């Protein structure tokens, strides 16, 4: 495996950083302390540091002065509103907030890479190390872009990395093309005349029936509105209506909310049209009014073939296992960068066993596996060298 001579000391230092960040998690858009830690380490590595991009975003730039376009490496920093139950010594000290997705590990690995690459003469391109807030709210990347990330720090390619429970430590995985889904939310509200469900049901609008027809119609949209090989998810997550203590009263309002996922922007547009048509058709048939709100929060994450081949080549130089990542209906706002510049996204193994990296992302028992840190640093350094050779 290609590693720098001081990798053991560097990994030990980054493990301490990771555990400190884990003990002090901060929610999306509140990453004040985390940004302070990041900026301090980047400055100690001798990088040019810019803060306050899109909120608490931080960029550290390693300048090599070459004629080739710069490259961008990105990590996310925010935590989740989950009460931790991992039992580890470095568990969250903030009630109801924890790093349940490994962003503490992502940050530590990229900080370690910045430290290593600052002294690496094999790197001939400028590198922008981007530490992004608010990934969990699918808004941090776009906020940074809107604040001039790509104009102030132009790049030819961008690369992201995320840990993967269930994948052995030291194993990597990626794919070319659609990799992670676009994610959106929707709500539908049917309103009409309420009434006596037993004595005079014919004088009321049956809104529960309308909602039932809409629910069944969602699955018809999937089966008949899209090609059979297009993965589409339309799922209701909540339903409200009526009063459980008044079972003979037909409600004047019912509401349902749900999630939607797909892998192309064209299908996002088709889903919007199909949901609107379905809601209006159901309301017309049932003699009621309807209001549908649908919003896409994350775009499809689609990797670039050239960038992904460079990322694969970097893993091969390390002699590590490289798998073909499956498409997943999980979402990630690195997708905003993939829509703007040629980009690639890599998964890094977090372990298989429960309690040793195998706990699911967003689970209260999750903890980033520190054994992955040397592999992550090695990947970033190998990737920087690989890009420099192209």
What span, in angstroms and rounded, lies between the C-alpha atoms of 374 and 96?
Answer: 30
362 labeled binding residue:
yes
Is the four-CA dihedral 389, 342, 67, 375 of positive or negative sign? negative
11 labeled binding residue:
no
CA-wise closest residue to 115 among 45, 28, 17, 13: 45
- For residue 372, the tally of other CB atoms under 10 A from its CB is 27
106 labeled binding residue:
no
As to burial, measured by CB atoms within 10 angstroms (0-12 exposed, 13-18 middle, 19+ buried), residue 203 is: exposed
Please state, in angstroms and as integers, the Cα–Cα distance from residue 53 to each residue in 57, 59, 73, 109, 145, following that order. Answer: 5, 8, 15, 21, 9
What span, in angstroms and rounded, lies between the C-alpha atoms of 106 and 12?
Answer: 15
136 labeled binding residue:
yes
What span, in angstroms and rounded, lies between the C-alpha atoms of 273 and 292?
Answer: 11
24 labeled binding residue:
no
Contact 146, 344 (CB under 8 A): no
Binding-site annotation: residue ranges: 101, 103, 136, 162, 362
- State the binding site for Mn(2+): 101, 103, 136, 162, 362
């Amino acid at each position: 495996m290609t590693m720098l001579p001081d990798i053991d000391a560097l990994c030990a230092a980054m493990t301490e950083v990771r555990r400190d960040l884990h003990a002090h998690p901060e929610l999306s858009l509140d990453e004040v302390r985390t940004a302070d830690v990041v900026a301090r380490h980047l400055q100690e590595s001798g990088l040019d540091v810019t803060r306050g991009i899109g909120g608490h975003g931080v960029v550290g730039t390693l300048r090599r002065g070459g004629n080739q376009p710069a490259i961008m490496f990105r990590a996310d920093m925010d935590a989740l509103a989950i009460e931790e139950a991992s039992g580890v010594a470095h568990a969250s000290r903030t009630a109801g907030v924890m790093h349940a997705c490994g962003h503490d590990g992502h940050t530590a690995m990229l900080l370690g890479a910045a430290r290593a690459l600052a002294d690496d003469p094999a790197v001939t391109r400028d590198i922008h190390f981007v530490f992004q807030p608010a990934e969990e709210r699918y808004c941090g990347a776009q906020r940074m872009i809107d604040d001039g990330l790509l104009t102030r720090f132009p790049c030819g390619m961008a690369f992201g990395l995320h840990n993967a429970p269930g994948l052995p430590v030291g194993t990597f995985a990626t794919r070319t093309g659609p990799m992670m889904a676009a994610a959106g939310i929707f709500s539908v509200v049917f309103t009409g005349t309420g009434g006596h469900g037993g004595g005079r049901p014919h004088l009321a609008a049956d809104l529960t029936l309308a909602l039932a027809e809409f629910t069944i119609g969602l699955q018809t949209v999937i089966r008949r509105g899209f090609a059979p090989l297009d993965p589409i998810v339309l799922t209701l997550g909540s339903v409200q209506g009526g009063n459980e203590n008044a079972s003979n009263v037909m409600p004047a309002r019912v509401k349902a909310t749900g999630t939607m996922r797909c892998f192309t922007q064209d299908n996002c547009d088709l889903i919007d049209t199909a949901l609107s048509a379905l809601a209006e058709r159901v309301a017309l048939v049932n003699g009621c009014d309807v209001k549908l709100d649908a919003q896409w929060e994350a775009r499809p994450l689609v990797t670039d073939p050239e960038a992904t081949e460079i990322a694969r080549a970097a893993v091969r130089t390390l002699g590590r296992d490289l798998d073909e990542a499956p498409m997943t209906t999980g979402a990630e706002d690195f997708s905003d960068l993939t829509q703007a510049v040629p980009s690639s996204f890599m998964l890094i193994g977090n372990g298989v066993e429960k309690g040793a990296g195998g706990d699911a992302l967003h689970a209260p028992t999750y903890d980033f596996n520190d054994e992955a840190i040397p592999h992550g640093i090695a990947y970033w350094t190998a990737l920087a060298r690989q890009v420099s050779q192209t």
